[in-house]
């Protein structure tokens, strides 16, 4: 539906029985975090800088609420109304699109304004041109540790797909629970159902479509 690569995910992953927002604090990146903080968070989970940049390419689809980037487009500083890292025309358009965000907190903008319904490498090309939406988007391009990978993926979509697949497959086995006391293997995402024992030991690979992977990415890394 959105295009992009496919990758294999091992079946039989256990899901926890409890989900608490309080467990998330301090463990997930925020849109206002510095690049050093984000790199540290990913490295603490065993992911390299390049893998982090590749996974960030998931922002080629989806949207962000205006409140997440409003500080960069309204009253940015005493000398500038907007963050100078934004393309000026883009910043002006964002100001108009988000004008009523305080009254309507649901107002949002596509993360990739050029090809919002296609999984491609346009996200990287956008942030090279000042068309990134979030502070963290601009940080990927301005930080010397991450910029080489932004430039690489911006000009080489096939390489982005290859590295994204490898990073997603690695992400799919992050923190896998073992033992019946630690979680359930569900037949349905919407219910707690104990799986048939034989399912637990299967090594079958699921050729999961991209959208399922994005859901997993958001859940494991960003708690979405």
Q: Which tens digit of pLDDT belongs to each residue from 77-130?
A: 999 999 999 999 999 999 999 999 999 999 999 999 999 999 999 999 999 999
pTM for this entry: 0.80
| Of 17, 61, 57, 69, nearest in space to 140 by CA | 57
Q: Which tens digit of pLDDT belongs to each residue from 44-88?
A: 999 999 999 999 999 999 999 999 999 999 999 999 999 999 999
Provide the domain count of the chain: 1
**How many other CB atoms are found less than 10 A from the CB of residue 201?**
7
Q: b/e for 2-36, b at 16 or more Cβ within 10 A? A: eebbebebeeeebeeeeeeeeeeeeeebebebebe
Of 204 and 138, more confident = 138
| 59 annotated binding-site participant | yes
| 112 annotated binding-site participant | yes
Q: Which tens digit of pLDDT belongs to each residue from 177-219?
A: 777 767 777 776 666 544 433 333 333 344 444 444 443 444 4
| 29 annotated binding-site participant | yes
Residue 72 lies in a domain: yes
Q: Which tens digit of pLDDT belongs to each residue from 145-162?
A: 999 999 999 999 999 999
| 83 annotated binding-site participant | no
**How many other CB atoms are found less than 10 A from the CB of residue 89?**
10
The answer to whether the CB of 183 falls within 8 A of the CB of 177 is: yes
| 120 annotated binding-site participant | yes
| 31 annotated binding-site participant | no
Strands 108-110 and 7-10: unpaired
Give the distance, in angstroms, between the CA of residue 199 and the centroid of all CA atoms in the same chain.
30
- Res 164: pLDDT: 97
Helix (H) / strand (E) element for 47: namely none
- Give the range of the structural domain holding residue 73, as residue numbers without chain letter: 33-177
Residue 201 lies in a domain: no
Phi, then psi, of 162 in degrees rounded to 5: -60, -45
Residue 89 lies in a domain: yes
Domain harbouring 71, CATH code = 1.10.420.10
List the structure tokens of 190.
Answer: 């919407």
- Res 24: pLDDT: 79
């Amino acid at each position: 539906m959105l295009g992009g690569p496919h990758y294999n995910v091992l079946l039989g992953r256990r899901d926890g029985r409890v989900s608490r927002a309080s467990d998330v604090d301090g463990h997930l990146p925020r849109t206002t975090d510095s690049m050093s903080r984000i790199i540290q968070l990913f490295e603490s989970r065993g992911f390299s800088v390049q893998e982090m940049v590749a996974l960030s390419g998931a922002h080629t689809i989806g949207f962000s609420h205006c409140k997440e980037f409003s500080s960069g487009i309204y009253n940015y500083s005493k000398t500038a109304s907007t963050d100078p890292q934004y393309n000026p025309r883009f910043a002006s358009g964002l100001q108009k699109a988000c004008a009523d965000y305080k009254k309507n907190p649901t107002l949002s903008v596509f993360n990739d304004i050029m090809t919002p319904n296609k999984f491609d490498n346009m996200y990287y090309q956008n942030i090279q041109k000042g068309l990134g939406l979030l502070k963290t988007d601009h940080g990927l391009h301005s930080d010397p540790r991450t910029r080489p990978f932004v430039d690489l993926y911006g000009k080489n979509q096939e390489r982005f797909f290859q590295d994204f697949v490898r990073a997603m497959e690695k992400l799919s086995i992050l923190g896998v629970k073992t033992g019946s006391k630690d979680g359930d293997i569900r037949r349905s995402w919407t219910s707690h159902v104990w799986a048939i024992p034989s399912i637990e030991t299967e090594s079958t690979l699921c050729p999961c479509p991209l959208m399922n992977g994005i859901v997993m990415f958001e859940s494991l890394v960003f708690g979405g």
